[in-house]
Structure 1
Amino acid sequence: MPKKPNPNLPIIGWREWLALPDLNISWIKAKVDTGARSSALHAFNIERFQENGIERVRFEIHPVQRSKERSVIAEASVHDVRSVRSSSGQKQERVVILTPVRVLGHTWDIELTLARRDKMGFRMLLGRQAIRRRMLVDPGASYAGGKPKV
């Protein structure tokens, strides 16, 4: 028998503004995608390296949708490398990082795959694993948390 959703969970829309504080992203527009298991971030110039025996990754992000003007360089520890099926159905090896996300005033760690999303409408997907047991999705709502002050 399926569990009933907790009615006390915050409600997010199908797209939301969120922050990735450890990656120096104060806001990014994300598509909330319950059809996607994992979350994905548009990243390019992805470079894996070793630092003090720990595998790390350095990458660039264009946080503004449909714009390449602003670029942020970020670094993180490699959490995993996984084979992920893209929206086109092709399998890709992707670096996975663990990083905090802030949505609607709540902050928690999520797994985030790094992938080129140049041709996609959103720079980030927030998948179902990231919001499971934390948020409910109203597919008819957008930006429940409002637009950040830029």
Structure 2
Amino acid sequence: MKSIDPANIVGLREWVDLPQLGIIGLRAKIDTGASTSSLHASDIQPFERDGQPWVRFTAYLGTQVQRRHRCEAPLVSLKTIKSSNGHSQSRYVISTRLTLGRHSWPIELTLACRKTMRYRMLLGCKALVDGRLLVDPARSYVQDKPLLALGDA
């Protein structure tokens, strides 16, 4: 039996950074039932930069005190997502770097309205697999706040 590195264990909730978007200190809910990760965004505007598709959007950080942060990222695709209640929705998909604890790797994020949700970001199973993480749902904030700074992206 292989031993499990505690650095690869996450709880039900964790602190994350999205340094390429300039987002530091965001609480994320870990959701093994969701395939794709999702970020609360509004004012989503597709545009072209150097002939390539990009998207501009406002990300919302914090739950009690709303902080807004304007972001731009290359557009990966437009994807139809089926929610847990059975509704289908078309969402923009971006790729960006995620930092969790001392780990950092690229993930895909859908941009969605999560204003009624407690957590502004959902970390889905594809990102967990790519990061080689194991979930202990009985715990929260297992990992320290990310160690990488914006300059390390």
| TM-score normalised by the chain length of structure 2 | 0.88
What residue is the counterpart of 1:11 in the other structure?
A: 9
- Between the aligned partners of 1:132 and 1:5, the Cα distance in structure 2 is 17
- Provide the secondary structure at the position in 1 that maps to 2:118: coil
Q: Which whole-Å deviations, capped at 9, do the CAs of 1:20-74 have from their partners, x for residues lacking one?
A: 0011111100000000000000000000011111000000011112432x21000
Aligned partner of 2:96 in structure 1 is: 99
Q: Matched residues in 1 for 2:2 and 2:120: separation?
A: 29
Query: What amino acid is aligned across from residue 16 of structure 2 in structure 1?
Result: L
- Residues 29, 65 of structure 1: 8 Å contact kept: no
Aligned residue for 2:45?
A: 47
SS at match of 2:139: coil
Q: Given that residues 58 and 69 in structure 2 are in contact (C-alpha distance below 8 angstroms), is that contact kept between their aligned partners in structure 1?
A: yes
**Structure with the higher fraction of residues in helix conformation:** 2
Q: Which residue pairs with 1:24 in the alignment?
A: 22
- Compute the RMSD of aligned alpha carbons: 1.7
Q: 2:79 aligns with which of 79, 82, 96?
A: 82
Q: Give the match's secondary structure for 2:61.
A: coil
TM-score (norm 1): 0.90
1:61-108 alpha-carbon deviations (Å, 9 max, x no partner) = 11112432x210000000111000123321000000000000011000
Stretches of structure 1 lacking an aligned partner (at least 5 in a row):
none
Cα displacement (A) at 1:11:
0.4
Structure 1 residue aligned with 2:54, among 53, 56, 66? Answer: 56
Equivalent in 119, 122, 125 of residue 125 of structure 1: 122
Residues 140 and 95 of structure 1, relative CA distance in 2, 3 Å threshold: same
Give the deviation of 1:6 after TM superposition.
Answer: 6.7
Q: Please list every run of 5 or more consecutive structure 2 residues that lacks an aligned counterpart in the other structure.
A: 147-153
Contact 2:60 2:68 survives alignment (8 Å) = yes
Distance between the aligned counterparts of 1:89 and 1:57, measured in 2?
27
